[in-house]
Amino acid sequence: MHDPNVRVFVVWEPVLLTDWHAPDSGAVGRVPDTRAMQYWDPQHALSGEIRRVADSNPQGVLGEHRLRAKVVWDFVALYPPGVRWGDTWPTAQFAGAPVVRVIDDLRRILTPPPPRDSAVRPVLPREQSLHRRA
């Protein structure tokens, strides 16, 4: 998943009782990738925006696996190139929650298939014997 053409937006928001402070260095340090930008959203502004659109299109916005909470959290979504956020929050190419449940599916989507030329070609026994004769 080392595609340089990916931008990651990490939005931290208070959900649990223990979230009485902004994310500390331990939390933000969990995402050290330079392609990421991190935000602290104590008012749940993004969650509210997503929830508003999800009411009419839960599958497209929140994905197949989603949490039944009022606040959208522990959530990940992928948006393809060209998709823009206009009047409303856009529909995702892939979305789901909790992250631990859907991360493998997201990884599969983000990982490009290996190019055909680099596929390992098995060396046939016949070829080996030809080399020996030469």
Look up tokens 């979230």; give the residue: 19
Quick check: 25 binds other proteins (CB under 8 A)? yes
Residue with smaller CB distance to other proteins, 58 or 78: 78
Q: Cα separation of 53 and 47, whole Å?
A: 10
Q: Tell whether residue 28 is a contact of other proteins (CB under 8 A).
A: yes
Provide the residue type at 12 as one letter.
W
Triad 75, 81, 82: Cα angle to 5°? 115
Of the two residues 46 and 60, which places its CB atom closer to other proteins in the complex? 46
By C-beta, is 33 or 127 nearer to other proteins?
33
Mapping DSSP to helix (H, G, I), strand (E, B) and coil, where does residue 96 land? strand
Position 111 contacts other proteins (CB under 8 A): no
CA 125/CA 101 separation, integer angstroms: 45
Q: How far is the CB of 119 from other proteins (least distance, A)?
A: 25
- In the complex, which residues of this chain contact other proteins (CB under 8 A)? 3, 5-29, 31-34, 36-47, 49-50, 72-85, 99, 106, 110
